[in-house]
Structure 1
Amino acid sequence: MDEKKPLLSSTLVIRSAVAEDVDTLRDVFRRASLTTEGAQAFFADHPEWLVWDDTMLPFARVAVADGRVVGFASARPVEDFLELEDLFTDPDWMRKGIASSLLKDIVRRGMRVEVTAGPHAVAFYEFVGFVVSGIANTQGGPAPRMQLDATCVRPFTDQGNNWI
């Protein structure tokens, strides 16, 4: 059994994405998207949804471990909050605290964070403190709108990595 061990936070670097990261971000986006149960059939009908939006590059932060990008998040400012557009982890690095570390980086900006969550991600977002605030009508159908108030984030531990 291949048991994944948590990544030590001291070996993970979070930095702003740069143009040289775009191909890797596209690859991580595509491969991570396809790991969701039922995704292959869904994306077969909508292959255009497997293409990462390069206009998010100025808002993207990447997680780097062992010299390679292993995940990324993008959050753009909208009025008085940050809209979390992307949160993806390389499938080989999933369940090692990468997504939690990226969210922690975003939350440090001290603004409310909002996201339209896919059904596969709701439990994770709830675990880290997001609450459902409504329903969004998306091209893929209704999806929960969730928010996290960065001024009152509760501490949590995710596989040994402290949240705050």
Structure 2
Amino acid sequence: MNEKKPLFSSNLVIRSAVDDDVDTLRDIFRSASLTIEGDRDLFAAHPEWLVWDDEMLPFARVAVVDGRVVGFASARPVDDFLELEDLFTDPDWMRQGIASALLEDIARRGVRVEVTANPHAIGFYESVGFIASGIANTQGGPAPRMQLNITHARP
């Protein structure tokens, strides 16, 4: 396992995902998903949920540190907002500001961002400015709907 390094914003580049990133995005999606102990039984029952949707590539932004993709987010336009479909960080790089930086990048588009949040991630979403807006019925059960009004987003 790679040694965790402190993240310095000058080392972080966020760019659009390209075809050459797809294998890495799939790996990050799967490995990050499996870090949530409370979700492992659901993934064991539904392994198809651990397959990243390649159709999200045009909407994906990747976080790169020293030439290595360490996280990604995808947000697709829906009506007058962006639906955050994916937000994943390589487990070796978790809790170093990668996901927050990706959300800040998305918020720069100047449009409200909405997400059906994993219940285990509510604290994170609240910490970056999301607020609860309802409940969605998902295949995994009820999940909170949250929105980030970019005028109230954390600086």
- Give TM-score, length-normalised by structure 1: 0.90
Percent sequence identity is 80
Once the two structures are TM-superposed, the CA of residue 5 in structure 1 deviates from its matched residue by 5.5
Question: For the residues of structure 2 that align with 1:74 and 1:154, how far apart are their CA atoms?
Answer: 20
Deviations 1:69-123 (A, max 9, x none): 0000000000100000000000000011000000000000000000000111100
Secondary structure class of the residue paired with 2:25? helix
CA contact 1:111–1:151 (8 Å) conserved in 2: no
Secondary structure class of the residue paired with 1:143? strand
Note if 1:101 corresponds to 2:101.
yes
CA contact 1:6–1:97 (8 Å) conserved in 2: no
Note if 1:12 corresponds to 2:51.
no
CA contact 2:4–2:92 (8 Å) conserved in 1: no
Note if 1:22 corresponds to 2:22.
yes
Which structure 1 segments of 5+ residues have no match?
156-164
More helix by share: 2
Q: 1:161 — aligned with what?
A: none
Question: For the residues of structure 2 that align with 1:18 and 1:5, how far apart are their CA atoms?
Answer: 25
Question: For the residues of structure 2 that align with 1:142 and 1:126, how far apart are their CA atoms?
Answer: 18
Question: For the residues of structure 2 that align with 1:123 and 1:105, how far apart are their CA atoms?
Answer: 20
In the alignment of these two chains, the number of paired residues is: 153
Deviations 1:123-164 (A, max 9, x none): 000011100000000000000000011123233xxxxxxxxx
Q: 2:78 — aligned with what?
A: 78
Question: For the residues of structure 1 that align with 2:124 and 2:56, how far apart are their CA atoms?
Answer: 23
Q: 1:88 — aligned with what?
A: 88
Which structure 2 segments of 5+ residues have no match?
none
Question: For the residues of structure 2 that align with 1:95 and 1:5, how far apart are their CA atoms?
Answer: 11
- Give TM-score, length-normalised by structure 2: 0.95
Alpha-carbon RMSD across the aligned residues, in angstroms, is 1.3
CA contact 2:83–2:114 (8 Å) conserved in 1: yes
Once the two structures are TM-superposed, the CA of residue 15 in structure 1 deviates from its matched residue by 0.2
